[in-house]
Amino acid sequence: MATRLNPYLSFRNNAREAMEFYKDVFGGELNVSTFADFHASQDPSEDNLVMHAQLDSPSGLTLMGSDTPARMDYTPGNTFSVSLSGDDEAELRGYWEKLSDGGTVTMPLEKAIWGDAFGMCTDKFGIPWLVNIAGPKQ
């Protein structure tokens, strides 16, 4: 699998509605996982919030998004990240090291509850990045 670069949009509590709208706009396949799907809620009211949604359009566009739990900062206008994902661990760790150097690591690049390695950082220019390295295939 090649490494992909795509936008990652954040919403407060309407990611499902927004991603279904984008599916109507761009077509394609939409996959949605909730916080409850991964037993990741810290509050039962978060269970049905979208932890991760991915829309893959027939023309090759990929758009990702999620809800932002109340305990996390949500400032409209700053509700995007850039996502790098793939299975080339050396390539993606190299990007991670360079992007996080001089920036702020908000979540270390380590094994996540869904089995992949995942990390979040903001580079020295204030751009938020998500890096996901696909885990071994089951």
Q: How far, rounded to the nearest angstrom, does the alpha carbon of residue 46 sit from its chain's CA centroid?
A: 17
Domains and CATH numbers, the chain: 4-133 (3.10.180.10)
DSSP character at residue 36: G
Q: What is the pLDDT of residues 8-38, one digit of tens each?
A: 999 999 999 999 999 998 899 999 999 999 9
**pLDDT(59) > 90:** no
Give the tokens for residue 28. 């394609």
Among the residues of the chain, which ranges form H helices? 15-26, 89-100
Neighbours of 1 (CB within 10 A): 8
| Main-chain phi, psi angles of 113, to 5 degrees | -65, -20
Q: What is the pLDDT of residues 117-133, one digit of tens each?
A: 999 999 887 889 999 99
Half-sphere exposure of residue 52: CA atoms within 13 angstroms, side-chain side: 12
Residue written as tokens 């359009």?
57
* pTM for this predicted structure: 0.74
Where residue 41 falls among pLDDT bands split at 50, 70, 90?
confident
Contact present, 31 and 53 (Cβ < 8 Å): yes
- Tell me what pLDDT residue 42 has: 84
| Position with higher pLDDT, 16 vs 74 | 16
Distance CA(27)–CA(90), nearest Å, equals 33
Longest dimension (CA), the chain: 40
